[in-house]
Amino acid sequence: MRVIGIDCGSERTGFGVIESDGRTHRLIAADVIVTSPRQPLQTRLKAIAAGLRTAIAMHQPDAAAVEGVFHAVNTQTAIKLAHVRGVALLAIAEADIAMGEYSPMEVKMSVVGYGRAEKEQVQLMVQTILRLPAVIRSQDASDALAVAICHATRAGFESRLGAAR
């Protein structure tokens, strides 16, 4: 199964693509779509949508995974994040691929084994799980890969569970 994970942000939206059988995961691609906070929000959303559409078309994932909404202290930040998530969900729907949503705590539990893990811990575990020579330097891309790993692991577990019944 090929999975694209997306870590939404209005200035930096990370995405990561993995190939997985549910137990073993392999890196296909990881990158960040960077926008300028000086640009109007609609211009940034357009760039994010175009970047995600390109990544989906290029890597042809079977499934997508996005972090669910978290509670932000700053209302404006939460609203911008919701707009970016909407753009990501639309790009996924346009590609007609299955999607999963996971809370930040679920992703961290799946990858690190601890729901309140720090970003650096997530980076190190993504490196270990994907057997990479170094950490993914961008935390946004690393977080996106963690979301993809979480989805692939869950899908693999559910598939094995269904086969056992």
Q: Annotated active-site positions, please?
A: 7, 67, 140
- Judge whether 94 and 53 are in contact, CB under 8 Å: yes
Other C-beta atoms closer than 10 Å to the C-beta of 148 total: 35
Q: Determine phi and psi for 99, rounding to 5 degrees.
A: -140, 145
Q: Which amino acid is at 6?
A: I
Provide the CB-side half-sphere exposure for 124 (13 A, CA): 7
Give the whole-angstrom CA distance, residue 146 versus residue 6.
9
